[in-house]
Structure 1
Amino acid sequence: MMQSPEGQSTTAAIRFDLGAIFVSLELSQSKWLLTSLSPGGGERMSRHELAAGDVAGLLGLFERLREKARDRTGRDYGVVSIQEAGLDGYWLHRVLAAEGVESHVVDAASVAVSRRRRRAKTDRIDGEALLRTLLAYKRGEPRVCSMVRAPSPEQEDVRRLSRERRTLVGERLTHVNRIKGLLASQGIGGYQPLRRDRRVRLEALQTGDGRPLGPHLRVQIRRELDRLELLCEQIKAVEAERDALLAQLEQTAPPDRPAPTAMLAQLVGVGAETASVLWHEGLFRPFDNRRQVAAYAGLAPTPWQSGKIDREQGVSKAGNPRLRTAMIQLAWLWLRHQPHSALSRWFLQRVQDNGGRGKKTAVVALARKLLVALWKYVSAGVVIDGAILKAA
């Protein structure tokens, strides 16, 4: 109750009654901290600690919370939960959804925090912040947070191929650079570890002062080549699985329209790997408008305006980093393979207006425009203006 200026009590300006049991989950590898707010319990939050992975204990705790709320109010209430997207993935979200719990997964970076220079951070504080965020979200407050659309198990599994290939390619580059570094320390350059005759050429190498390679160095490089060849075989196996998956998608596509990955691969400059990454990392999701597409890839602009201050901070980088990296790489390839498209002409005109400067900034803008154009292409069949398709 509030006191009016005349000393008379009036009702609060805003009142609401809880229509469910709201729960936040702070997950770690050792324990789970549950913070709850139940109907009939006032504004007091209760906290419970469980061992990590104790799903049965978690469901039992939910049932006890329901019983307490029923005893206090005489009504049955459902459970609404929230958890951060993290290392635990989406398996717990799927378990709770299967048990009838309204489960939400939130992007942790979208939850508002204190702007103090040094802010306290504990699981208890984070649990309360998550619970307040969930209450605001269910009240319908706009943009209070960004909830994650959990992919299906099939969608989550199929994108493992492109991610594994990226990891293997990175490991291959590490071994190549290590071999080149070992040889460079002996004055040897020009050796290419990825060539097929790498072992034959290794035996004929001599140091910069005319000596043969030391026996221990030669053996070390051979072991590096063993690991390098294993990685090359694994990359080939992953690429074969990817090609088989793309062929399966083409076979299951409707007869009047090709598969989205096949549509992307028809564009000159877009290969099978890029098409797979673009589709499985982002374009398979439903988007309402182009702003959502750019925001999901982290390519949305970030202005900074306050009074007379008005400047651009660059892209937000708040979205999918794999999709964003693929789009930046594709933007450079697009300029090379699609020079007569409307997007390439726009890029060249913008760089020319800046006196040839700002290519890196302009290519990020090109990546954003290209991603939106590709989304329209695979979702509505809108052909990119001036784009060249591969011959059938």
Structure 2
Amino acid sequence: MNPIPTTYAGLDVSLDDTHICIVDEHGALLSETRVPTDPEAVHNALKGAPGQLKRIGLEASSLSLWLQSELSAAGHPAIIIEARHAHATMQAQRNKTDRNDARALAQIMRTGWFRAVHAKRPESRRLRMLLANRRLLKRKLIDMENHIRGTLRPLGLLVGQVSRGRFEVRVRELICDAPADITAFLETLLVVRGRLLDGYGELHRLVLAIVRTDPLCRRFMTVPGVGPIAALSFRAAIDDPHRFRRTRDVAAYLGLTPRRWQSGSIDRTGSISKHGDREVRTALCEAAAGLLLRTRKWTAIRAWGLRLAKRTSMLNAITAVARKYAVILLKMWRDSAAYRPGLGAKVTEKMRLPGPQTA
């Protein structure tokens, strides 16, 4: 009786179709097919695949996490791999097609030369969506305000420094004597800006309500400079603190460690890699900038950052403090530790926390 051969599958997922390629343990092509991007259709195609599937690879994308969770629930060994790793392999192909991409993914699964992406839990994914939508409305609000300022500037009307709450009042004061056509379209822009402000305020209040009832985020906020946005962003991005072997690995995961390029006698260290979650990296850097540039109260982290700024630059100090934040928060989460403000770099101690800890 012949044993069942071990096989590997690669799925190139697009908005409408998913190309599936299956190879054996020697890399020989066994089957290729194309199905709609639907978990049931992909499940039926894989269920009738030759051999016993050992790994099924999907490139990280907006659809792959949903598809991977559905396939895993159906019993398939689906794995999401980093897009940079998949892209490096696909570049070796002469022609870029969905069919060839599926073949490359199948070969990556066979060789094992990949790094699996952590599939976050539904709760963390929902929090990330909330934070992303809040940040989107904030950016659009700033863009709208800057556009209104730029529209008034050629008329010699300067808004100047004004709070967000008084922005609309200030603009209406400036355009009270403007021509009717200019007043008409500026009124429209102010209405749009008002709706953006209302939407942003609603999502921001929702974020604050979640942080207020989350004991982990409240504990994160005991670190000087860490506010609700940074705390919730870090919690949603990390999802599971125990997936990092060392606490300092989280800094590299968030793109806060320097690049390195070495070849022969050349060994260069550059700026930070900026790989990983841009939103949580931005939130940590904003928290670090607020601590160093706006806070006046003495803390060990702020004193350390200001000493570093004197030796190098303020930008380097902000990045270093953001990197320290990432390490501190992960250690507090993983070890159920409390923050101790006077210990410099060693800012946590283990403690027994009451009740179950949210992860």
Q: Fold match, TM over 0.5?
A: yes
Structure 2 CA distance for partners of 1:241 and 1:19, relative to 1, 3 Å: farther
Distance 1:358 1:335 in 2: 12
Paired residue for 1:129, among 87, 99, 104?
Answer: 104
What is the match of residue 30 of structure 1?
16
What is the match of residue 279 of structure 2?
322
The answer as to 2:269 corresponding to 1:312 is yes
Paired residue for 2:325, among 370, 380, 385?
Answer: 370
What is the match of residue 282 of structure 1?
238
CA contact (8 A) 1:82 1:130 kept: yes
How far residue 196 of structure 1 moved from its aligned partner, in angstroms, is 4.4
Between 198-207 and 19-28, the greater mean CA deviation after superposition: 198-207
The answer as to 2:26 corresponding to 1:48 is no
What is the match of residue 152 of structure 1?
121
Q: Which has the larger radius of gyration?
A: 1
TM-score, scaled relative to structure 2: 0.83
Percent identity, please. Answer: 24
Distance 1:296 1:234 in 2: 32
Paired residue for 2:207, among 242, 245, 261?
Answer: 242
Summarize deviations over 1:68-113 as a string: whole Å, max 9, x none.
Answer: x3xxxxxxx3452110111214111111111110110011112373
Q: Greater relative contact order: 1 or 2 (C-alpha under 8 angstroms, separation 6 or more)?
A: 2
Alignment of 1:183-332 (within 5 A): 183-190=152-159, 195-196=164-165, 198=167, 200-205=169-174, 212-249=177-214, 259-282=215-238, 284-286=240-242, 287-332=244-289
Structure 2 CA distance for partners of 1:229 and 1:43, relative to 1, 3 Å: closer
The AA in structure 1 aligned to 2:305 is: F
CA contact (8 A) 1:38 1:65 kept: no
How far residue 242 of structure 1 moved from its aligned partner, in angstroms, is 1.8
Alignment of 1:135-146 (within 5 A): 135-137=110-112, 144-146=113-115
The answer as to 2:59 corresponding to 1:101 is no
Structure 2 CA distance for partners of 1:309 and 1:342, relative to 1, 3 Å: farther
Structure 2 CA distance for partners of 1:203 and 1:364, relative to 1, 3 Å: closer
What is the match of residue 345 of structure 1?
303
- Equivalent position SS for 1:234: helix
Gaps of 5+ in 1: 1-16, 70-76, 138-143, 250-258
How far residue 146 of structure 1 moved from its aligned partner, in angstroms, is 1.9
Summarize deviations over 1:111-137 as a string: whole Å, max 9, x none.
Answer: 373698996433233223222221222
The AA in structure 2 aligned to 1:63 is: K
Structure 2 CA distance for partners of 1:191 and 1:318, relative to 1, 3 Å: closer
Alignment of 1:79-98 (within 5 A): 79-98=54-73
The AA in structure 1 aligned to 2:180 is: P
- What count of residue pairs does the alignment treat as equivalent? 340
What is the match of residue 41 of structure 2?
57
- Equivalent position SS for 2:255: coil
Summarize deviations over 1:184-227 as a string: whole Å, max 9, x none.
Answer: 010101356865455554444269xxxx3111111111111111
Summarize deviations over 1:139-190 as a string: whole Å, max 9, x none.
Answer: xxxxx32211111222211222211110110010011011111110101013
CA contact (8 A) 2:8 2:23 kept: yes
CA-based RMSD of the aligned residues comes to: 3.0
Distance 2:69 2:172 in 1: 56
TM-score, scaled relative to structure 1: 0.77
Structure 2 CA distance for partners of 1:318 and 1:202, relative to 1, 3 Å: closer
